[in-house]
Amino acid sequence: MAAEPAAKVGTATALLVLVVGALAVYGLDQLSKYLVVANLTEGEVVPVLGNVLQWQFVRNPGAAFSLASGMTWIFTILAAGVITFIVWFARRIRSIAWALVFGLLLGGVLGNLTDRLLREPSFGLGHVIDFISTPWLIPAIYNVADMAIVSSMVLFMLLTIRGVGLDGIRESKRAGVAAEGEPTAEGDQPADAGTPRIVAES
CA distance 75 to 82: 10
Query: Which of 29, 115, 146, 188 is labelled catalytic?
Result: 146
Is the alpha carbon torsion for 137, 149, 147, 164 positive or negative?
A: negative
Known catalytic residue at 167: no
CB 101 within 8 A of CB 160: no
CA distance 155 to 104: 10
Known catalytic residue at 130: yes
Closest by CA to 131, choosing from 49, 67, 37, 63, is 37
Query: Which of 130, 167, 188, 192 is labelled catalytic?
Result: 130
CA distance 131 to 56: 5
Active site residues: 130, 146
